[in-house]
Structure 1
């Protein structure tokens, strides 16, 4: 992994250029992520509105929440993440950005049920708490001199464990397992927020001198996707603790 202090020891003009480029790169990452979050929120809110009429599920609501289609909606975002990771090197930067926005829309459909289950006030409060926590964790990951790259393998193993446990608990319906999953989920995605931020920063510094604009664009989108997933998952797990049910 590239060492930031070593890079700074180079020529002053080149270092300044890298610093300026890094700032622009991170702004693009956070900007793209924010647009994705907005798309997800609007899609989820709009879809939940179509799903209920006078307190009853509409035909559309029944189709997405009470039919086998719900399983496709639930797992489609996960499938798209793997597909995106496999295809990122073969598609254009514009294609990658479009893919991300389509994914954000589908994620809105996938989590739209929270608007039916939890009160709007508790969703807004949890979102604010998540945003503050995410900002602090991401800032720490960006500024810390500590190398946390070693966290990656453990955190990814933790995510795989969460996915398996969540699937198993769909059939078991155990509140104790659900509580344990939510607790571990908060810790794992808090760690991933800091880890992914540092990785985005170091990846840019490592490739900055090549100045491959196509790569930088796709790297920013991939970084935005990673942080977007960290935020969404952190929010969803915190909602299990902080959300007030309708």
Structure 2
């Protein structure tokens, strides 16, 4: 009796391997971006002339934030028009700018709070990535919910700038943690779907590089946003305990 190879099984194994390759590249570039951001933020915070100029020059700071927005738009919108190397350069430049704009946290928060927030964010982020990757549930329905939730958080935060109520601030922070943790899982599953679509072109190194940078940017933004929400939450709780 002639035995034929299980082509379906072989295809599934190849696709799984392609997805793993894609995610390794995504997390590698994301980690590079975070390390670059952390180094520049730390270095700038320890350079009095630079940090004082940034904190005292609101126009310059707003210009940096606007440039960051432009970079995210360019990477997302011109993904198929730019080379992998160009997109990588833009992502690293974006990470550097984030280091500049976030250097002030070392002046606003003590190092123990920052360290605690980073560790908490790392474990939370990793847990939600694992869940988003392995869950069999379709998380696409969360997309509109998360967008509306974050939009509501932004509006509530702007209103609270005028009210300046600590209780409202705490509620906003707790709700923000929920939505940003869901966003991590949602984006992870979204990237998994992207990996399945580009798996047939896994040998196209530049194509893989472009989509890896896109994935790195998505998860990088998720991590940064989650980190700052948790940082504010921990600091707010510490201040309440001291009262």
For Structure 1 versus Structure 2, the TM-score category normalised by the shorter chain is 0.7 to 0.9
Cα distance change, pair 76–158 in 1 and its aligned pair in 2 (3 A): farther
Q: Which deviates more, 65-74 or 115-124? A: 65-74
Query: Where does residue 201 of structure 1 map in the other structure?
Result: 192
Pick aligned residue for 1:144 from 121, 127, 135:
135
Residue 147 of structure 1: SS of its match in structure 2? coil
Q: Provide closer, same or farther for how the CA distance between residues 41 and 23 of structure 1 changes in structure 2, counting only shifts above 3 A.
A: same
1:216 to 186, 208, 211: 208
Do the aligned residues in 1 keep the contact of 2:160 with 2:168 (CA within 8 Å)? Answer: yes
- Comparing 228-237 and 168-177, the one that deviates more: 168-177
Inter-partner Cα distance in structure 2 for 1:123 and 1:75 = 25
CA shift, 1:207, in A, is 2.8
Change (3 A) 1:169 1:84: farther
Mind listing any 5+ residue stretches in structure 1 that lack a counterpart? 1-8, 52-57
> What is the rounded CA distance, in whole Å, between the counterparts of 2:205 and 2:89 in structure 1?
17
1:228 aligns with 2:225: no
Q: What is the distance in 2 between the residues matched to 1:187 and 1:199? A: 18
SS of corresponding position for 1:11:
helix
Query: What is the TM-score normalised by the length of structure 1?
Result: 0.84
Uncovered stretches (5+) of structure 2, i.e. residues with no partner: 1-5
TM-score, L = length of structure 2: 0.85
1:63 aligns with 2:53: yes
In the other structure, the counterpart of 1:23 is 20
> Which of residues 30, 45, 49 is equivalent to 1:48?
45
Aligned length: 230
Secondary structure of residue in 2 paired with 1:152: helix
Higher Cα Rg: structure 1 or 2?
Answer: 2
Describe the shift of the 1:10–1:112 C-alpha distance in structure 2 as closer, same or farther (beyond 3 A): farther
Contact 2:23–2:212 (8 Å) recurs in 1: yes
Tell me how large the CA RMSD over aligned residues is: 2.2
